[in-house]
A and B are shown apart, each in its own frame.
Chain A
Amino acid sequence: QKEVEQNSGPLSVPEGAIASLNCTYSDRVSQSFFWYRQYSGKSPELIMSIYSNGDKEDGRFTAQLNKASQYVSLLIRDSQPSDSATYLCAAQYSSASKIIFGSGTRLSIRP
């Protein structure tokens, strides 16, 4: 059973600090990885996708992928209260397969 694992949290980070969210996956051949943000009572929205080993930066967000260690992480710099949400990690094992979502990490940014 292919799985994506996340710490459910809550993860509490002071405003202005770096929030680090981690995710591990079980299948070595997985190809594509995604981070979604879900505010309470709302639908998930895509933040970033990453396909190659290394870092990918987009504004205050950096996704990091390490296929050898089978983990993907999301760093949020200069955390803001508006970043408080549940962050879902997702993996896709081939271009023809569905994506597998983790159960999400709840992030709380304290002022």
Chain B
Amino acid sequence: GAGVSQSPSNKVTEKGKDVELRCDPISGHTALYWYRQSLGQGLEFLIYFQGNSAPDKSGLPSDRFSAERTGGSVSTLTIQRTQQEDSAVYLCASSLWTSGGGEQFFGPGTRLTVL
């Protein structure tokens, strides 16, 4: 596809369940980013990948959060034992690293609701 895609677009889960969120970046983009945005708030950085490695995981809120990227393409963000405060929109973005990574293209997001 032409843009960044994310799935599912909406996810409703019960507290304590695990969820997996998927991001498919733009073809050829080596850098991939995960952010979280709560209602009316700014972007909260979670993690970024350069290729398959994650140089900066500093934004992951707790050890319940993990992410991986395989084949330099698709990435999965996993949240274990979800809590109500995990409810937010999870955004993925990708960029060409040759641009320094700042010119990012965002996917439509996954809206996560934890009941």
Contacts and interface: CB of A to CB of B under 8 A. Distances in A.
Given A88-B42, A88-B43, A104-B42, A99 B102 contact: yes
Contact of B100 (A32, A88, A100, A104): A32
Contacts of A32: 100, 102
B27 to A, nearest CB: 18
A44 interface: yes
Contacts, number: 50
Contacts of B91: 43-44
B104 interface: yes
Interface string B46-60: 001000000110000
Given A43-B91, A43-B109, A44-B43, A98 B103 contact: no
B100 A43 contact: no
Contact of B56 (A42, A88, A98, A101): A98
Interface in A17-62: 31-34, 42-46, 49
Interface of B: 33, 35, 41-43, 45, 48, 55-56, 91, 99-109
6 smallest CB-CB distances across A and B, nearest first, come from A103-B42, A43-B106, A92-B102, A101-B43, A95-B100, A99-B102
